[in-house]
Amino acid sequence: MKKISLFFLLISAFIFAQQSVLDQKINSIIKDKKATVGVSVLGFENGFKYSKNADKKLPMQSVFKFHIVAAVLDFVDKGKLSLDQKIALNKSNLLENTWSPLRDKYPNGGVEVPLSEILEMTVARSDNNGCDIMLNLLGGTQTVQKFMDSKGVKGFQIKYNEEAMHKDWNVQYENYSTMNSATDVLKKFYDGKLLSKKSTDYLMKVMLSTSTGLNKLIEQLPKNTPAARKTGASGKNDAGLTGAENEIAIITLPNGKHYAIAVFVSNSMETDAVNCKMISDISKTVWDYFNK
């Protein structure tokens, strides 16, 4: 028994030492930055955990589109919605002055497109109009909240849609997640505890095709590293403050194993380039840790 106890003590000491080295490296990246930086890392197969400010409730911005789309696919699983159903696009739901590749593709509206196209635009290209169209189909943000609550997702709140966030800078802080919540929900998703296998596989494929945020989590990773991602960003207000520069992802390692990572940069007075570089550098540091 003493030998077994000693073995586990040595293993625990080794893991703590490794986490300490990782923490030192991440501290050096965020040192002296005028920003709050939250980080959570969760190894899926080995249960490795790392956190930095990971219980702070930080604004999600478009990261919340992952949660919204998961709720939509739950409706699909339950037969309440269909990915093939046609959604009418018109001037009332293709708002101007917001990020919307969907509007750019159909500038005059007057068309019907399948729900799958709206969903894919919302995740892979972070379409704001697509996001609000899907929230309307669900009956509002409260449906997403109830779904996440039902799945045991803690440290998450959603109250406002994209249109509301564009009208009032401050409401973004009411749509928040902790970093630990973000990696937890990604693990639940990966494990098939959020959606059916069909919907899980479908959303994973869509997230793997994400084209936004190329200068964040994946920037310094080896080319073609599988990364199922969702990005978020607030831009700056008139005072030069960035409310949110965020990304969450499931990363597949060369050995076939996986980890979830969430990095949020909040209330930052740094430049956009510095904010994104912090996320990129943290991601590379974590990747190197898993690939020693």
The residues pairing with 1 across neighbouring beta strands, listed in sequence order, are: none
What CA–CA distance (Å, rounded) separates 117 from 275? Answer: 31
Residue tagged active-site, from 117, 162, 245, 247: 162
Q: Which two tokens stand for residue 66?
A: 């992952």
Residue tagged active-site, from 40, 62, 199, 280: 62
Q: Is 74 left (phi over 0), alpha (psi -120 to 50) or beta?
A: alpha
- State yes or no: is 234 an active-site residue: no
Residue 51 vs residues 54, 182, 277: alpha-carbon distances, Å: 5, 12, 19
- Asked if residue 212 lies in contact with residue 245, where contact means CB atoms within 8 angstroms, the answer is no
- State yes or no: is 162 an active-site residue: yes
What CA–CA distance (Å, rounded) separates 173 from 193? Answer: 28
Q: What letter would DSSP give residue 222?
A: P
- Asked if residue 194 lies in contact with residue 200, where contact means CB atoms within 8 angstroms, the answer is yes
Q: Active-site positions?
A: 62, 162
